[in-house]
């Protein structure tokens, strides 16, 4: 039986609408060795089809939030539910298989072709498990490469792909498990301007073509947000400073509060711009 087809549907709330794909309730995380507070009383939920930006200065707790939702770590206090399952009451290995993750620091074989890298998304492994990939799985990998507009990279070693090409291949890999939730941890890291714009276009098309897919994108730059991003969460020193629709959250006042310096924000044709609000000497 196809493991994707066999998965249970997302839980639904009492009004019949889909329940959240991820929900944090009063979550705190403290470093065991030092007692340092990394997250403090964070409550947040993400529903199917929503696209969130997760913003904050270095050390704000963004990566820890992704690790919680990705079922990599557990909270010190509070509850985390992902795809209807509460952490601590579910086999996290099975849960991780249903969550797509894209990060520039992911370990994949540089010698493997792009098609092989995508195939490993079906097994969640660094090296391919050839016995697990039947004709249908191989065809799915090819279709995902085509969907991400990198079909011509199928036989190219991953290590010689450009940064932007690697990012799209990794997104195709993350989609192999048909996840309900896609986590993107600074996917634009080290990309040049054309590669960044190509990836933004890719994310916009992906949102349009997969209406039930929810995404969370961690970034430092508003310019990297696609027009599909409809919600934002601002973190500062482990606490939520603002969350909600982008028009209400990505304002100069809220961004200035989050980053601790004057920030000016503008929006043009669905794209965001931000710069320092400080006045430079003549």
Q: In this predicted model, what pLDDT tens digit does every residue of 164-189 receive, in sequence order?
A: 999 999 999 999 989 999 999 999 88
User: What whole-number distance in Å separates Cα of residue 86 and Cα of residue 35?
Assistant: 24
* pLDDT value, residue 190: 82
User: What whole-number distance in Å separates Cα of residue 252 and Cα of residue 264?
Assistant: 5
Nearest to residue 218, comparing CAs of 40, 60, 44?
A: 60
Q: What are phi and psi for residue 235, nearest 5 degrees?
A: -115, 140
pLDDT above 60 for 5:
no
User: What whole-number distance in Å separates Cα of residue 185 and Cα of residue 112?
Assistant: 22
Give residue 17's pLDDT band: very low, low, confident or very high (50, 70, 90): low
Nearest to residue 37, comparing CAs of 233, 239, 220, 185?
A: 239
Buried-state track 20-47, b at ≥16 Cβ within 10 A, e below 16: bbbbbeebbbbeeeeeebbbbebebebb
Q: What are phi and psi for residue 271, nearest 5 degrees?
A: -105, 150
Give residue 2's pLDDT band: very low, low, confident or very high (50, 70, 90): very low
Task: Tell me the average pLDDT of the chain.
Answer: 89
Non-local CB neighbours of 205 within 8 Å, separated by 6+ positions: none
Give yes or no for a contact between 80 and 29, defined as CB atoms under 8 angstroms apart.
no
CB atoms within 10 A of CB 93: 9
Is 0.75 topped by the overall pTM? yes
* pLDDT value, residue 16: 52
Nearest to residue 274, comparing CAs of 203, 215, 234, 224?
A: 224
Give residue 8's pLDDT band: very low, low, confident or very high (50, 70, 90): very low
Give yes or no for a contact between 38 and 29, defined as CB atoms under 8 angstroms apart.
yes
Find the helix or strand (DSSP H, E) in which 243 lies.
strand 239-245
pLDDT above 90 for 46:
yes
Model pLDDT for residues 49-86, shown as the tens digit of each residue: 999 999 999 999 999 999 999 999 999 999 999 999 99
pLDDT above 80 for 6:
no
Give residue 97's pLDDT band: very low, low, confident or very high (50, 70, 90): confident
Cα dihedral sign for 5, 135, 184, 273?
A: negative
Beta-sheet pairing, 231-236 with 51-55? parallel
Model pLDDT for residues 115-138, shown as the tens digit of each residue: 999 999 998 888 989 999 999 999
Look at residue 152 and give its three-state secondary structure. Answer: helix
Percent of the chain with pLDDT over 70: 92
Non-local CB neighbours of 210 within 8 Å, separated by 6+ positions: none
Look at residue 247 and give its three-state secondary structure. Answer: helix
Q: Which residues pair with 183 in a beta bridge?
A: 101, 216
* CATH code of the domain occupying 22-98+179-276: 3.40.50.300
Give residue 35's pLDDT band: very low, low, confident or very high (50, 70, 90): confident
- What are the structure tokens assigned to 276, written together? 């320092």
Find the helix or strand (DSSP H, E) in which 147 lies.
helix 135-147
Write down the domain spans for the chain.
22-98+179-276
């Amino acid at each position: 039986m196809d493991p994707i087809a066999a998965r249970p549907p997302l839980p639904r709330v009492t009004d019949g609408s889909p329940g959240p794909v991820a929900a944090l309730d009063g979550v705190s995380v403290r470093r065991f060795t030092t007692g340092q507070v990394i997250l403090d009383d964070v409550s947040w939920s993400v529903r199917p089809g929503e696209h969130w930006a997760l913003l904050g200065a270095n050390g704000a707790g963004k990566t820890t939030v992704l690790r919680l939702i990705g079922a990599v770590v557990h909270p010190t206090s509070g509850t985390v539910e992902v795809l209807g399952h509460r952490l601590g009451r579910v086999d996290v290995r099975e849960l991780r298989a249903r969550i797509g993750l894209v990060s520039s620091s992911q370990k994949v074989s540089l010698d493997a072709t792009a098609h092989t890298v995508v195939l490993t998304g079906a097994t969640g492994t660094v090296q391919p498990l050839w016995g697990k990939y039947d004709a249908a799985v191989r065809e799915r990998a090819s279709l995902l490469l085509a969907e991400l507009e990198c079909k011509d990279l199928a036989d190219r070693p991953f290590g010689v792909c450009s940064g932007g090409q690697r990012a799209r291949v990794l997104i195709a890999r993350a989609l192999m498990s048909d996840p309900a939730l896609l986590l993107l941890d600074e996917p634009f890291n080290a990309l040049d301007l054309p590669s960044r714009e190509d990836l933004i276009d890719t994310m916009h098309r992906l949102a349009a073509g997969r209406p039930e897919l929810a995404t969370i994108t961690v970034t430092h730059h508003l310019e990297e947000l696609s027009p599909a991003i409809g919600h934002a969460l601002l973190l500062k020193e482990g606490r939520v400073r603002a969350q909600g629709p982008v028009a209400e959250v990505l304002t100069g006042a809220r961004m200035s509060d989050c980053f601790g310096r004057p920030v000016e924000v503008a929006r043009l044709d669905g794209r965001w711009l931000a710069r320092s609000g400080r006045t430079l000497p003549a």
